[in-house]
Each structure stands twice: as structure tokens, then as C-alpha cells.
Amino acid sequence: MAGEVREIWYVYMIRTERGELYTGIAKSICRRMRQHTEKKQGAKFTRSRRIVAVASLWSCEEKGQALSLEYALKHLTKKQKERLVACPRLLSTLLPAMEKEDYIHHPMADLSLFLGQITLCDLP
């Protein structure tokens, strides 16, 4: 439809100072990263761990797609997640069911983009 605003959902993997990976989804990635770095609003997992980086970030247009990818990522082993962070093109290899979905990987996602340290917040 003309003039229709697309809804964007983000699926992210963030790295803690202990090297752990946390996977989640957000409609507003800036708001969610700020929540994760503030002790009272982040997920239970991130409240006790300092977030040091956005390890990987994907976007899609439907909440169902985002939830499916998040679920699939959470069920990968740590080794598989690390392989995916190192080479995002492995998404369709590690998760063949996700191959037909339209996910956009954002390789330059830096935590400082989402915490207001840099003015750019919205990714293409």
C-alpha cells in the first residue's frame, strides 16, 4: 500500500565481558541496547553481566520471522553461534529452515551506535 510504513524487527546477539552470547529481538534496537546496559531494565541474563559488543545483528519485516530466528539461534551450540558470528553467511547452512526468509545482516553494528555515543541509530 502506498504510504504504508514498514515495521522493522531486529534479532541480535550481544557479547558479554565474559565472552557469553545473548540472543534477543527488539522493535527498537536503540532502546533495547540501552535497556540491556541499564541494570534495572535489561533481561535477567544481562543484568548481572556487562555488555561489551553487538556480535551480530539481523533485521526483518515481521515479528514472526524475528521470533523464529531468535528461537533457532538460541538452540545453536556455543560453537555454532561463534561460527555464525565469524561468518554470517553460514546462517542458511546452520539453520536451513531460515534460508527462505528475508533477513538482512548488518555487519557494521557497533554497540556505540545504539547507546547514543554516535548520532546514527537507525540502520538501513
Profile the chain (124 residues) by mean pLDDT over runs of 10 residues: 73 93 91 80 81 90 94 95 91 82 81 57 46
| pLDDT recorded at residue 26 | 93
Handedness of CA 23, 32, 54, 103 (dihedral sign): positive
Domain boundaries, the chain: 9-114
9-114: what fold? GIY-YIG endonuclease (3.40.1440)
